[in-house]
A and B are shown apart, each in its own frame.
Chain A
Amino acid sequence: AQSVSQHNHHVILSEAASLELGCNYSYGGTVNLFWYVQYPGQHLQLLLKYFSGDPLVKGIKGFEAEFIKSKFSFNLRKPSVQWSDTAEYFCAASAPGTYKYIFGTGTRLKVLA
């Protein structure tokens, strides 16, 4: 069955620390991949997405993610986090030609000032 796994449920970092959030997917064939973020009190919004081409995708606010097909992974990274990055992060996947998205369970990131 198709699935998306996020193994880090809670992450606490100090400002300026580097961030890497794991995302693994289980899909047969081609896959579209997304990272969404939900800041406190705000709507869920897109950070970045990957469909094809360069496996290193850059998104908003200095985030990037790397698609590693051999590892079925799409990890989110940021070299230096800020207090304002405190949020919940969701990885999602979809199969081309479908309307269905599958989300991971989310990772709550807390950045200490």
Chain B
Amino acid sequence: ETAVFQTPNYHVTQVGNEVSFNCKQTLGHDTMYWYKQDSKKLLKIMFSYNNKQLIVNETVPRRFSPQSSDKAHLNLRIKSVEPEDSAVYLCASSWRGYYAEQFFGPGTRLTVL
């Protein structure tokens, strides 16, 4: 099956802990993204990588760090989570370029207590 896969589906943790989310795509794309969807369902870009190179880095707190081992994998680490980090984190992939349809994974829902 060709798609975008994310693990875990859900994660509950306490303030100050570190969490990591994984994303893998089997679509053969060269660009991957992390988006955050907040409690009001607003979706915003966080990062994008092209062939392991960071190409978009929006205004995101420094406790967030993306990690790419190859063009098919893009993980997201959050050091010392805060309550406002509670959200759904969506991974996506596409070919690089202005005219490139993006495909999304099912998301990881993070709850910070």
Q: Do A and B bind each other?
A: no
